[in-house]
A = this chain, B = another copy of it.
Amino acid sequence: MGRVVHKYGGSSVADADCIKRVAQRIVATKKAGNDVVVVISAMGDTTDELMDLAQQVSPLPPPRELDMLLTSGERISAALLAMAIANLGYQARSFTGSQAGVITTSAHGNARIIDITPSRIEDALAEGHVAIVAGFQGVAQDTKDITTLGRGASDTTAVALAAALEADYCEIYTDVDGIFTADPRIVPSARQIPKISYEEMLEMAACGAKVLHLRCVEYARRYNVPVHVRSSFSQKEGTWVVDAKELDPMEQAIISGVAQDRGEAKITVVGVPDKPGEAARIFETVAKAETNIDMIVQNVSAVATNRTDISFTLPRSDGSRAMSALARMKDEVGYEQLLYDDQIGKVSVVGVGMRSHPGVSAKFFSALADAGVNIEMISTSEIRISVVVDENLVDAAVQAAHTAFDLDDDQTQAVVYGGTGR
């Protein structure tokens, strides 16, 4: 007998009708002979509505109480889904994160999963029930308070549960058909990727792809849980995120996809004295301000002045905090100027294939040049190349890279250009 975990997001359970449709899908999976565990988000905009209520009574709600409040949303949808499944003749039982054994840190609003001890889930499955777990929540190991898990939480909970229950795979149901070679809103000819490796998905997520959260993919990779990302509104196969070993090297494209991120800003510390310790001091300062640095670029110092410029990117929301911290350090570091630019975008090409294929950078950079896109910064990893470009040129850059690496969908391309194929 198979064992699977399903996860349904808020838009998949937006109202009673959606819940009933989800129930039918779950029952079909059970009928096919599987143990089924479901992780579910709050209905539609419930979390936002609860946050709004909280703001009405207090501009600064205590974190513990905010978690008590927000977790009601998932509790409601979990119970309703259990009822809908029972109505189809199958037994189902809903559980809070705490009841499901999701043990977390006590960082309210952004707790991390420490462990999952799903004994009550195992009991329910043993009795032939469908187990439904309220997503986004757990219980703090030390205080026993209810916690919410921060961004990407329900996906991570689903994968973590799949790992703890030794499920065959985890299906993440969402409002898109799967992972695409690029954002279809920017590149209409983007294709759905049938299979992608954990490493590539990690890079795509880190570089701005929004479908699966970084934390979730990392968990899947660590515990080797196959993840199937698919649409809750159709029966189509989605994208499988799997161990790289599962991919057919013969079929592997060099580049799996192109991602973009419009949420970053660039800070340049101009004229930093080129002596040991200066760069360290800059980044210690920024780190103390609790900001997350992404790309760092430092060029060789100018011979004449013995000074260099250091640039780095970070989330725009951390921008002013980092700038304030650096401004206070001006005399101590002795730099000349501090520049801030939030009109940037980061464009990345990702693919395990680039390990074994030289010339990927060259192809990427000349595609950008041909499209008139200037490169401001470059950063690479083994399977990813990222560039920082002007924010207004992000779309053009994504489209150029997508075409250059033969990712465009043949048929769409034929329609657009009137040709018969590549």
Contacts and interface: CB of A to CB of B under 8 A. Distances in A.
A73 to B, nearest CB: 8
A59 to B, nearest CB: 7
Given A16-B53, A16-B56, A56-B16, A69 B61 contact: no
A64 B83 CA distance: 9
Contact of A58 (B53, B56, B87): B87
Interface in A76-101: 76, 78-84, 86-87, 92-94
Contacts of A93: 64-65
Q: Among A50, A60, A79, find the residue whose CB has the most chain B CB atoms closer than 10 A.
A: A79
B86 A79 contact: no
Nearest to A94: B68
Contacts of A121: none
What is the interface residue range for chain A against chain B?
A: 35 or more
Nearest to A61: B83
27 contacts: A16-B53, A16-B57, A23-B57, A53-B80, A54-B80, A54-B83, A57-B84, A57-B87, A58-B86, A60-B87, A64-B93, A65-B79, A65-B82, A65-B83, A65-B86, A65-B93, A66-B83, A68-B78, A68-B79, A69-B76, A69-B83, A71-B75, A72-B72, A72-B75, A72-B76, A72-B79, A75-B75
Interface string A35-71: 0000000000000001001101111111011101101
Interface of A: 16, 19-20, 23, 50, 53-54, 56-62, 64-66, 68-69, 71-72, 75-76, 78-84, 86-87, 92-94
A243 B57 CA distance: 39
A23 B50 CA distance: 18
Contacts of A23: 57
Contacts of A53: 16, 76, 80
Q: Among A53, A58, A71, A92, find the residue whose CB has the most chain B CB atoms closer than 10 A.
A: A58
Given A16-B53, A53-B16, A79 B66 contact: yes
Given A53-B80, A57-B84, A72-B76, 18 more contacts: A16-B56, A16-B57, A54-B79, A57-B81, A57-B83, A57-B87, A58-B84, A60-B87, A61-B86, A65-B83, A68-B75, A68-B82, A68-B94, A69-B75, A69-B80, A71-B75, A72-B72, A72-B75
Please provide the 6 A-B residue pairs with the shortest distance between their CB atoms, ordered closest to farther: A16-B56, A69-B79, A58-B87, A68-B79, A58-B83, A72-B72
A37 to B, nearest CB: 16
Nearest to A95: B68
Given A68-B94, A82-B65, A59 B76 contact: no
B94 A57 contact: no
Nearest to A91: B62
A65 B94 contact: yes
